[in-house]
């Protein structure tokens, strides 16, 4: 009976979070320099849906407002939601796999690789697009993937990937790449502002092309990760216990690390470094779901998407006409929570 009640409460939490996410998306689409009512923004978005659009009268929908909502705001909103969902799920996986409550998607150094790739593109003045995607995004993705390969190669020991070695390799490699970015900024002073703005994180350059590329990566990645939810639950009891229960621990770790790395690389390449999303969202969701990854992973995706949409809306509208990097907004919420985690766990760490 308790199990049935738990499943029911998880469904209710998921439905409630999805409804809140939908409302946030419409609210964000209506908010900005051009003030559009919530109802009008909803009608514009519904009218653009192929099947449902015919049921929505379009007589009094302003063409200019439609352009603003559909071509400027909505790609940015959807992109920020995808980034939030991807980073939150990856954070939940890494925290469960490493049994470390402070693990986050950037612990493997992938973000530093993206920063170096983007900095190189910015320093070289590469402004053109490749297949509809900015070359800076392409360089950031390449930097992320190369970093992932290097960190994995360093940490690999006789076909195994020890968690501690992987974390240390990621941290060390990340610091080295961050140093290279700092050196590049010194020698390219004219581009410092652009490099810093990219590193601080922003989805201001969002486009439907980026959404079309990121969506299948994040969606497929979350589906694959969710398929390993049961194995993650067993691995959380300890690797030896998981092996005794028939879980191929090393195979599962390699698969999850590969999928998580690809998701993070794709997200960072389009948004820059968005800190703390993958850290605080899984912890907040655990208050509802507990440690069961079957509920934790999908709910983290929805809550993370809503959190990022809310933060980006604040970033766009807090100090008009200036736009605050969304990474700064997520850090404002995330840093105090990180300090709270440190304070809460200090007795465990120091005895």
The pLDDT of residue 283 is above 80: yes
Name the phi and psi angles at 134, rounded to 5. -60, 140
The pLDDT of residue 244 is above 90: no
Give the domain range for residue 294: 75-350
The pLDDT of residue 72 is above 50: yes
Each residue's pLDDT tens digit, 139-195: 888 888 898 889 888 888 877 777 788 888 888 988 999 999 999 999 888 888 888
Query: For residue 32, what is the enclosing H or E element?
Result: none
CA dist., res. 140 & res. 258, Å (int): 17
Which CATH number is 251's domain given?
1.10.3470.10
Tell me, what's the pLDDT at 227? Answer: 93
Least confident of 14-28, 79-93, 276-290: 276-290
Name the percent of the chain lying above pLDDT 70: 91
Number of separate domains in the chain? 1
Residue of higher predicted confidence among 129 and 273: 273
The pLDDT of residue 199 is above 70: yes
The pLDDT of residue 32 is above 80: yes
Tell me, what's the pLDDT at 58? Answer: 58
Residue 203 belongs to some domain of the structure: yes
DSSP string, 74-134: HHHHHHHHHHHHHHHHHHHHHHHHHT-TT--TTTTSHHHHHHHHHHHHHHTT---EETTEE
The DSSP code for 188 is -
The DSSP code for 72 is I
pLDDT, mean of residues 193-216: 88
Burial 321-348 (b: 16+ CB within 10 A, else e): eeebbbbbbbbeebeeebeeeeeeeeee
Residue of higher predicted confidence among 29 and 1: 29
The pLDDT of residue 262 is above 80: yes
Residue 19 belongs to some domain of the structure: no
Residue 22 belongs to some domain of the structure: no
Average pLDDT in the chain: 85
DSSP string, 213-272: HHHHHHHHHHHHHHHTHHHHHHHTT-HHHHHHTT--HHHHHHHHHHHHHHHHHHHHHHH-
CA dist., res. 166 & res. 158, Å (int): 14
Residue 15 belongs to some domain of the structure: no
Burial 167-178 (b: 16+ CB within 10 A, else e): bebbbebbeebb
The DSSP code for 160 is B
Residue 227 belongs to some domain of the structure: yes
Tell me, what's the pLDDT at 310? Answer: 94
Residue 119 belongs to some domain of the structure: yes
Residue 56 belongs to some domain of the structure: no
Residue 186 belongs to some domain of the structure: yes
CA distances in angstroms from 236 to 92, 243, 349, listed in the order given: 12, 12, 19
Each residue's pLDDT tens digit, 341-350: 677 766 554 4
Task: Tell me the whole-structure pTM to 2 decimals.
Answer: 0.90
Tell me, what's the pLDDT at 66? Answer: 86
The half-sphere exposure of 154 on its side-chain side, counting CA atoms within 13 A, is 19
């Amino acid at each position: 009976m308790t199990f049935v009640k738990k499943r029911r409460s998880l469904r209710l939490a998921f439905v409630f979070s999805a409804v809140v996410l939908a409302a946030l998306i419409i609210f964000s689409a209506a908010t900005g320099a051009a003030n559009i009512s919530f109802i009008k923004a909803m009608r514009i978005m519904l009218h653009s849906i192929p099947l449902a659009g015919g049921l929505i009268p379009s007589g009094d929908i302003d063409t200019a407002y439609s352009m603003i909502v559909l071509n400027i705001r909505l790609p940015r909103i959807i992109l920020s939601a995808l980034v939030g969902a991807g980073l939150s799920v990856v954070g939940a996986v890494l925290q469960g796999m490493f049994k470390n409550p402070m693990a986050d998607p950037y612990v493997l150094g992938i973000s530093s690789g993206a920063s170096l790739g983007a900095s190189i593109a910015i320093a070289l003045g590469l402004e053109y697009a490749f297949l509809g995607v900015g070359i800076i995004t392409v360089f950031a993705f390449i930097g992320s993937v190369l970093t992932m390969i290097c960190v994995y190669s360093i940490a690999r020991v006789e076909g195994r990937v020890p968690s501690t070695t992987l974390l240390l390799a990621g941290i060390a490699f990340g610091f080295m790449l961050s140093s290279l970015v700092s050196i590049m900024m010194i020698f390219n002073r004219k581009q410092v502002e652009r490099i810093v703005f990219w590193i601080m994180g922003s989805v201001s350059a969002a486009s439907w092309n980026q959404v079309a590329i990121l969506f299948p990566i994040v969606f497929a990645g979350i589906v694959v990760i969710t398929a390993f939810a049961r194995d993650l639950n067993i691995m959380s009891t300890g690797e030896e216990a998981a092996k005794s229960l028939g879980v191929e621990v090393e195979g599962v770790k390699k698969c999850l690390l590969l999928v998580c790395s690809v998701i993070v690389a794709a997200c960072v390449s389009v948004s820059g470094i968005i800190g703390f999303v993958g850290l605080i969202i899984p912890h907040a969701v655990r208050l509802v779901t507990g440690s069961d990854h079957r509920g934790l992973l999908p709910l983290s995706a929805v809550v993370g998407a809503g959190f990022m949409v809310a933060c980006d809306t604040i970033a766009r509208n807090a100090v008009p006409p200036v736009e605050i990097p969304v990474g700064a907004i997520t850090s404002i919420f995330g840093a105090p929570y990180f300090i709270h985690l440190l304070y809460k766990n200090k007795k465990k760490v120091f005895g």
